[in-house]
Amino acid sequence: MSELSCDIGIGGMTCASCVARVERAIGKLTDVKDVSVNLATESARVTWKLPESGEVNAQEQQARLRRAVRDAGYEPLAAAHLEQAPVGAWSGFGPVAVGLLLSAPLVLPMLGDAFGKHWMLPALWQFLLATPVQFILGARFYKAGWHALLAGSGNMDLLVAIGTSAGWLLSMWLWLMAPDGHMVHLYFEGSAVVITLVLMGKWLEARAKRQTTDAIRALHALRPEKARVITPDGEQEIPIDELLVGDRMVVLPGERFAADGVLLEGQTQVDEAMLTGEPLPVHKSMGARVTGGSINGEGRVLVNVSATGTATVLANIIRLVEDAQAAKAPIQRLVDQVSAVFVPVVLVLALVTLLTWWFTGHSLEVSLIHSVAVLVIACPCALGLATPAAIMAGTGVAAKHGILIKDAQALEIAHKVDTVAFDKTGTLTVGQPRLASLTSVKPSDASAPESDAQLLLLAASLQSGSEHPLAHAVVQEAKSQSLQCVVPDDVNAVPGFGSEGQVQGRTLLLGSLRWMDALQVPAGAWQVQAAQMQSEGATVSILAERTHAGVRPLAVLAFGDEPKPGVQAALTLLRKRGLRLVMISGDNKGAAHAMARRLGLLPDEVFAEVLPGDKAALVKSLQTNSQGTPHVVAFVGDGINDAPALAAADVGLAMANLNVDGRRGGTDVAMQAAGITLMRGDVALVAGAFDISARTVAKIRQNLFWAFAYNAAGIPLAALGYLSPVVAGAAMALSSVSVMSNALLLKRWKP
């Protein structure tokens, strides 16, 4: 059986009980394998089981899903409701403002009592002010509470509706039963103020929610609406949805690239900060890759489009962030279990409070007020927001700095990591060989050897037309020394050995030691030098010349990979966190240990000559030491051969290396296997990922503590008569706002 996931927006959810009810309703649908509802994003991620044929009626599937949401008492919305442009800061404040205006005269007598003033409004005025708040502004609570009852469950709205209705009905009864002309104390103000405070709390909560989804909106805003392409009729602007792979796209200075592609003409500086977190512009010249959503600098460039729509890097980033924000952390499962029984328990406690006060000799009026206070303060809004709000804020700010957290489980586990295993090539090192040294060979006829610059020019000229990585390294070194290569003649590649050709009338060969042995090149001190370089981890090639007397060596070229800038400092930072570091390499022991010394790693932290298929097994062995003690292991890699190890680790971190030509295929596979993706090849981001994990989990725990603490302290105080319904309503609203505000503090985080 295969699977298919889809998203749906859900309007009207208010608390953790709503989440549980929607999950039950959707879970009852045929072929639904898994459903995860997120209160903070007001959305659901649904996974369907598909038949063996793979055929599915998507329209019917969506219709069933929307019907299930509506039958549960909620409003099905488009899955893209989070992509909408941000609204004003005061959007949705109208009902709250009306509630404040109507409730203020009711609260005024309470303030007057504190100063010995008696400003009690007539009962009719209290009724006229409180009733619109109760039944017009509060209609949402009755509607949602009624749907909850029909579904055989409870939620925050039901508690508010029952509590405020009890206060309003009690006031009506006292008013109607009072003798003519007799002023009685009514509780209209309690019901009106509770509804107004709850509405204000929900408005502040919605305002905070919009801030947690800023990351998604900001990423969508990177996608321009139009692209300028070259057609047979000249340059033409077309909608971005009509852009095709192979189109030639013109991008002017200051414009955003509409899609991924390769530069055909021009050179420029590209701002990729929103994609990679890299603050400095990146230089791009002909042949360089550009990413949709990044900003062109000072040059007009022509780009060959290589990916559009959902295949672009930006679309993949958005998908990863949305997946992370829609996912549930394992700790949330416990919260869901508590929420499932919370509202029924509160209803029972409210009834017990009512009966206890009544049977102990107090009036029905007093007993009902204390019962209402229990109902109001017990609303589980904060409980439902505690985890998703922190996850959304944490994953959003991490994405801003180039750390994409794919799932909530990786976010929750990352801070527990005690062992970090790194792939070597492309992760700790640049991943592209460079010419480390060129040593001239002393001629056997005792004539003066040629200069290193002349030998480098000969080698670079011979290799100038080759695509081999070692040839590229030779040419790059020549360019760095401002040497002008000459065009070679009759160049032939000798598979497995090297290349041969004519440069300035000389027949030159550049290739491996094995080739030199096969050609019976005269032995000499150069062989000892070459062996020494190989033992130190270098790849060695020989530049030789074919003459009438045979083949004679001219120079020994040593190639090596280089550590990435700042990698040693990043590894030192990880050590300071108390982490054990391990390097896994497929290179020979000499090369692996030579690089380890440059990185500051110890010999026992190096695993060399590890085949790609054995990396996953090695990661599993690190998860349990010789004494049987379990370890939490993170693996950091960047290539397609790292995917099994990334999947086997407790936390997989894939380095995207998006700016390195030709590495996207392997990177994409690694990104799918990993729980966390680092959008630039900076090892320092590994510590950043662990840090944001620790801070996010800390926020989740703080939020859950406060959410439970409000209820644990508030319910007994209300039941014992120490809290009025108005104070209870204010405390309940404050609990939700405090949880959201605490989560939003994560937005200030920097790696």
Alpha carbon of 425 to those of 435, 561, 584, 647, 673: distances in Å?
Answer: 16, 8, 9, 19, 18
First to last CA, the chain: 42
C-alpha torsion 694→700→702→706, nearest 10: 180
Residue 320 neighbours by CB distance under 10 Å: 22
In whole angstroms, what is the distance from residue 47 CA to residue 65 CA? 11
How many Cα atoms within 13 Å fall on the side-chain side of residue 136?
12
In whole angstroms, what is the distance from residue 195 CA to residue 376 CA? 10
In whole angstroms, what is the distance from residue 391 CA to residue 414 CA? 13
- What radius of gyration do the chain's Cα atoms show? 35
In whole angstroms, what is the distance from residue 111 CA to residue 114 CA? 5
* Secondary structure string (H, E, C) spanning 310-339: HHCHHHHHHHHHHHHHHCCCHHHHHHHHHH
Cα 193 → chain centroid: 40
**Which tokens is 690 given?**
């662990």
Backbone angles phi, psi at 175, to 5 degrees: -65, -50
C-alpha torsion 526→528→531→533, nearest 10: -70
**Which tokens is 529 given?**
């030098």
Alpha carbon of 354 to those of 94, 310, 341, 359, 367: distances in Å?
Answer: 35, 58, 20, 9, 5
In whole angstroms, what is the distance from residue 200 CA to residue 180 CA? 37
DSSP string, 191-255: HHHHHHHHHHHHHHHHHHHHHHTHHHHHHHHTS-SEEEEEETTEEEEEEGGG--TT-EEEE-TTP
In whole angstroms, what is the distance from residue 43 CA to residue 393 CA? 16
Cα 207 → chain centroid: 21
Counting every residue written for the chain, the total comes to: 751
**Which tokens is 288 given?**
């360089």
Task: Give the angle 672-581-430 at the CA atoms, nearest 5°.
Answer: 60
Of 323, 407, 423, 682, which one is the catalytic site residue?
423
| Residue 534 DSSP label | H
Q: Shortest CA distance to 423 belongs to which of 581, 597, 625?
A: 581
DSSP3 helix / strand / coil % (the chain, rounded to 5):
50, 20, 30
In whole angstroms, what is the distance from residue 35 CA to residue 23 CA? 6
In whole angstroms, what is the distance from residue 41 CA to residue 98 CA? 27
How many Cα atoms within 13 Å fall on the side-chain side of residue 346?
31
Active site residue 423: yes
Cβ contact 419:633 at 8 Å: yes
Residue with tokens 């390499």: 585
Q: At what angle do helices 589-599 and 567-576 cross, to 10 degrees?
A: 70
Long-range contacts (CB closer than 8 Å, 24 or more residues apart) made by 76-81 = 76/8, 76/9, 76/10, 76/11, 77/8, 77/9, 77/10, 77/11, 77/42, 78/9, 79/6, 79/7, 79/8, 79/9, 79/43, 80/9, 81/9, 81/42, 81/43
How many Cα atoms within 13 Å fall on the side-chain side of residue 242?
9
Which positions are catalytic?
423
